[in-house]
Structure 1
Amino acid sequence: MSGATADVLDRLFEVVTSRRNADPNISHSARLLSRGTAKVAQKFGEEAVECLIEAVMGNSSKLIGESADVLYHLIVLWVDAGVNPGEVWSELQRREGTSGIAEKAARPGPIANRSGG
């Protein structure tokens, strides 16, 4: 392990945020953001599917690369939506120690969705 930590996600968020108004011809992040929410979301979805494919194929090395792509595009989506990573980290912390089944059942929505049906 290289000693890398999840702090890189906060730094990446700052970079993407700083590129929001940059020239789309020189910044990939600016180019993505300039295309609007639908395209940002579409790109995130494409990367997520590629990540899933590598997981199903059992290709760990490619899964690592695709996972990095997913995280980058998720951060671009957050910047587009005005979501700060700290808000997501707080939500994860709030859920910490709670059963996933119990957490999902506590979400508002139709009873059918909460029961898995």
Structure 2
Amino acid sequence: MLDTLYHEALNRKRNPKEGSYTNYLYGKGLDKILKKVGEEATEVVIAAKNADKEEIANETADLLYHLAVLLVETGVSLEKIEDILQARQGKVSKTSDRREISDY
């Protein structure tokens, strides 16, 4: 599904369509696309806090769409992201809890 979404965004960039929201975003440029990604990410967080599964699904779909537009606009391929994720797979995280502060 992500592949389809990405390639549809790429196709719209290469073959603009009058009245297309995707082309509207491309026409407004990176700052507008970034603003939309930020808005949609925030809406996913709010949906999750509301524990509304339908809202989470809808807002996540919006976020994924806007991320696809962002990737196309910046020239980052899904293959690049897949390579990075595969390189990370199976690695042990270096995160740890902070030690407690006992002196004030």
**If the length of structure 1 is used for normalisation, what is the TM-score?**
0.76
RMSD between aligned residues = 1.8
How many Å separate the matches in 2 of 1:28 and 1:9? 18
Q: Which runs of 5+ in 2 are unaligned?
A: 99-104
1:46 has 2:39 as partner: yes
Q: Secondary structure of 2:13's match?
A: coil
How many Å separate the matches in 1 of 2:31 and 2:63? 16
The 5-angstrom pairing of residues 47-62 of structure 1 reads 47-62=40-55
Residues matched between the structures, number: 96
Q: Which runs of 4+ in 1 moved over 3 A?
A: none
Higher relative contact order (CA 8 A, sep 6+): 2
| Structure label with greater radius of gyration | 2
Q: C-alpha deviations, 1:79-117, integer Å up to 9, x for none?
A: 110000111011111100113x32x7xxxxxxxxxx8xx
1:20 has 2:18 as partner: no
Per the TM alignment, residue 20 of structure 1 is displaced from its structure 2 partner at its CA by 0.9
Query: Aligned AA for 2:24?
Result: R
How many Å separate the matches in 1 of 2:19 and 2:91? 44
**If the length of structure 2 is used for normalisation, what is the TM-score?**
0.84
Query: Aligned AA for 1:77?
Result: L
How many Å separate the matches in 2 of 1:64 and 1:98? 29
Query: Aligned AA for 1:49?
Result: T
Per the TM alignment, residue 28 of structure 1 is displaced from its structure 2 partner at its CA by 1.2
Give aligned-pair identity as a percent.
34
